[in-house]
Amino acid sequence: MNEELSLIMATIGAGSVFAPFIFIIFHLLRQFFFIPVAVICISGGILFGPLAGTVYSIVGLSLSSFLFYGVINRFLKTRERLLKMKNKLFGKRNLNVPQITILRLIPFIHYHLLSLCLMENKQGFKGFAYYSFLSNIPLAFFYTVFGSYISEFSPSMALILLLSLTVLIYLLREKYTVITWKEFFQPGE
């Protein structure tokens, strides 16, 4: 698999005028090759530099999300599996956009599972597309620009980074208070 990925990346990096388009198409096809998003974004930074690599990755990730939106309702068994996985990981509660954005930075959480969470939050394609685009920006920027540095982290530094992201997810949760019927209509004191 590494040889195939190296060959594809060498072809893209050969300096062709079509290299950005091939890279964006590779973002669309990456799920079929079971290649993590982080690997593609890091490759974009190496091939095109931090600025262009980030832009191409944002475009590719957004198109991948749009494709997922169009396809997931046609594959009901896959949707059911993703919903079961979501309920196991996050329970019945819905994640908000900042939480999804931070969870996308964690490489071992399924990218399209988070897209499904975003679909549940934002009804309709327009809202989904907007928030999907916004939540892809930090992911593409982080892995494209800082990708080479992340690979050099010690295990303890990587653990500190993951713990920091976990704390951020907790702090950005939606906070609400549940008042029971009896408490709300309690006689005046």
- Per residue in 80-127, pLDDT (tens digit) is 888 888 888 888 778 888 988 988 988 778 888 888 888 888 778 999
Residue 189 lies in a domain: no
Residue 181 lies in a domain: no
User: What's the structural domain count of the chain?
Assistant: 1
Residue 182 lies in a domain: no
Structural domain of 160: 2-175
pTM: 0.72
Residue 188 lies in a domain: no
Nearest to 127 by CA among 116, 136, 118: 118
| Predicted pLDDT of residue 31 | 81
Return the percentage of the chain with pLDDT > 70, whole number: 84
Contacts of 41 (CB under 8 A, 6+ apart): 53, 57, 139, 140, 142, 143, 144, 147
Nearest to 9 by CA among 50, 39, 37: 39
Residue 21 lies in a domain: yes
